[in-house]
Every structure is written in structure tokens, then in C-alpha cells.
Amino acid sequence: MFNKNLLWIIALKEFKYYIISFRFVICTILVLILSIVSSIILSNDYSEKNSEFITSYQIHQKEIETISNRGQLLMAGLTADRAPIKLSIYAQGLEPYIPHSFTVSPVVPPNVNERKYKNPLFSIFTPPDFIFIVKTILSLIALLLVIGTISGEKEAGTLKLTLSYPISRAQLILGKTIGGYLALFIPFFASALIFLFVIIINPVIELTSEDIISIILLYIGSLLYIAIFFQLGILLSSIFKNTAPALLIGILIWTFWIIIWPGIIQPVAESIIKPVPESSIEATKSTILRDTDRKTFFLKSDEWETQRKELWEKISRIEEQAQGQWREQTQILQILANFSPAGTFVLLSTNLTKTGINDFNKIASALRNFQFNLIKFDDNLILKAKRNEPLEPFPRYLIQKWNPFDPSLSSSLKENSDLNIFYFSLLFIEILILFLLGLLFFNRYDIR
């Protein structure tokens, strides 16, 4: 028979037990300190990147104004600038690996100008973001918090006494789940508020309604992720009669999910699909360009135009083949990542904060289009010269509008909704499976 009063008494008892325990207090203080330091560092870093972006953009716009002929375009090229991603404070994702400036010329491969005057050691010693705190620290706290919730009571001799009251084992484990999870909500909520507060007080960051929805969804996803390790702790505590072996197995599973599996999937994906090296692709393209330029230099306009079309068809096929292999490898990597809740959580969080693979693909595609438009523009200038057509004043406005990093390029929540729903569903299913397994083993648990 369901006893609501006893259920909440057990939940309240568990809640009080956890929040006054020494390990809980220490863990909460650790999370608070880490959140304060991390959020401030990442917020200042975003402000610095944004300042660099504004300065760089203004400089490159002035450079465009000085270009008045084809020779200057070929020599200097054009530089496109990308603004930093606002929600990267929550999840760095691919943001540190995506260049903020690209120099493109019709005849020279893109040159990446990525904060070249920064200390390279900063790339090694990076501050933890909100996702790291949830994925690593809070998940471990959740596991350690409840690893002895059943086996510990059995060792203390209180489990048999508790079950002597008119309450079922299902109600007992549900009460322990509610009380423990409410206690765990305290350090999470504190960390979430700290990050949100630091973002709000940053004058450079202006959150849109979609940004706020993304943050809320990120918090929901984080709670689901933490719940997986919470339920894992209850499951192991329901399987083992002593806390020590449950703790050992729990740490091993946590280590595999958080550390080992993410390190395994990359070489596995690379062994399944081996894309052509980028250096080889660029070398092939350069060879084709040089050969075509040599053959077409003295051709008439019509023959020259035909040869150039064939050239770009060849280069497009090479690009499409390389991109196809890269996409296949990325898909395999994403599939393998979902075998760990940590992988699913990272994919979800980077999707929501626009620091994931979808936005990276959009930026890469925009850059390719940017260079292709420049090449077409240059070819048009050559064709007019071969036809002895009068050249109009150099149309700078055409170059200025070729900004590949328009804000509209960022993926929207609606655009990624199916993928986000899948990740949310996967996390929820894992929680449900662990909860039912914990209940199943606890029903068979020997309390003697």
C-alpha cells in the first residue's frame, strides 16, 4: 500500500542527512569556488575576444578600402572575421579550435590568423567551463553521495528497522531518490546561478530570447545527466552488500564513461574511416591550378572560360570527396560517443550553446563559399581583360558583402530540435533503465 506520509518522511530524512554531512559541504564549497573562478575567467576571455574581433574587423574593413585593382586583391587577399560565441562561457566545445580570422585570396589557400600573439600554453591549461563542472565534478559527487544509501544502511543495521514500517521497498528507494536528488540540486543550482549572474552582468553579452531558452534547456539536460550517476549509485548500492565493492565498481564505471571511452572513440573512428590528409588535398588542388594556369595563359576568352569551368569541376569533386569522408567519420564518432552518457551530454550541450559540430560545419561551408566567390570574381576580371572589355572601377561593395560569418549562419534551436530531442530522450531512457534495475535488485536484496 502506498504511504505518502512515510515517503516524504524518508525523502526529508535523506535530504537532511546529505546536506549536513561533511563530504557534502566540502563538495559544495569546491563546486562554488570552481564555478566562481571559472565563470569570471571565461567571461573576461569572451570580452577580450570580442574586443579583438571589433578591432580586427575595423582594420580589415579599412584594408578593403585600399584595394583598387586585381593585383592588390591577389597579393593581399581578403580577411573575414568571426565574432566569438556568446554561450561558449557555458560550453567551450569547438570554439577554441575555430579561427576568428581567415585570410583568403583567389590564388592562395586560406590563412588562419588565430590569436597569434597569445601564449601557446593557454591552449593546454584551459579553465573548466560549466559543462566540465557538471560532466566531471557533479557527476562524481552524485555517485559518491548515494553509493552507500542501501548497503551503508545494511552495514549500520538501520535498513531492517526502516523496512519494518508499513512502507514498500519501491517507496523506500523512491523516497531516497527524491531526498538525495534534492540535496544534489543545491550545488548544481548554485553553480548554474553563478554562471548566469556573471553572464548577465557582463556588458558585452546581450542575451536573446533564444539564448535564454538554450540556457534553460542546458540546465534541464545537466540535471538529467547528473541523475544518471545518481541512479547508478543507487543501483550499485542495491547490488552489493557492502559499500566498499560498490564504491570501487562505481569509480571504475565513472572513469570509463568520463575518461576512457572518450579517448577510445577517436582512434576507432579514424581506423574505420581514413580521410585523405588535408595537406594532400591542398597539394593536389595547387597542382591542378598551376597546370591549368600554364595551359590557359595564351588561350582566347571562350577557350579559356571552358578550361576554367573544367578546372573548378575537378576541384569541386576533390572537395566533395574529402568532405564526404570527413562527414562519415564525424557520424561514426557521434554514434560511438552516445554509448557514454558523458558523450551524449557533451553533444547536447555543445548543440545548445552553438559550439558543436553543426555550427563548425556551417562556418567551414561559409568559408569555402567565400573563397569560391573570390575566385569567380577574379576569373571574371581576367575574362573581361581577354575580351578587351572596359573594366569598371573596382567594386569594393561586392567584396564587403561577402562576409561569410553573418550572425544568421548560427544554427537555431528549431534547426537542431530533432537532434536535441534525441539526446534528451537518450538521457531520460538511461535514467529510467538504471532506476528500474535498482528497484529490481533492491526487491531481491537480503536485508539480514
Give the Cβ contact number of residue 75 at 10 Å: 11
Is residue 117 left, alpha or beta, with left meaning phi > 0 and alpha meaning psi from -120 to 50?
alpha
Through-space distance between the first and last CA atoms of the chain, rounded to whole angstroms:
23
Domain-located, residue 448: no
**CA triplet 346, 348, 352: central angle to 5 degrees?**
115
| Cross-strand bridge partners of residue 104 | 78
Domain-located, residue 193: yes
CA 387 to each of CA 32, 300, 309: distance values in angstroms, whole numbers, following the listed order: 70, 8, 17
Domain-located, residue 15: yes
pLDDT at position 107, please? 60
CA 414 to each of CA 169, 379, 411, 419: distance values in angstroms, whole numbers, following the listed order: 43, 39, 8, 10
Read off the pTM.
0.85
For the chain, 448 residues long, the average pLDDT of each consecutive 10-residue run is: 74 88 90 94 91 84 71 70 87 81 66 44 63 94 88 77 78 88 92 94 90 94 95 91 89 94 83 71 70 64 65 73 77 89 94 86 74 71 67 52 52 79 95 92 76
Domain range holding 216?
A: 4-443
| Cross-strand bridge partners of residue 111 | 103
Contacts of 382 by beta carbon, 8 Å cutoff, 6+ apart = 70, 304
Domain-located, residue 20: yes
pLDDT at position 116, please? 41
Give the Cβ contact number of residue 114 at 10 Å: 12
Number of structural domains in the chain = 1
C-alpha–C-alpha distance, residues 242 and 229, integer Å: 19
Domain-located, residue 146: yes
Domain-located, residue 275: yes
Which sign, positive or negative, has the C-alpha torsion 355, 319, 113, 101? negative
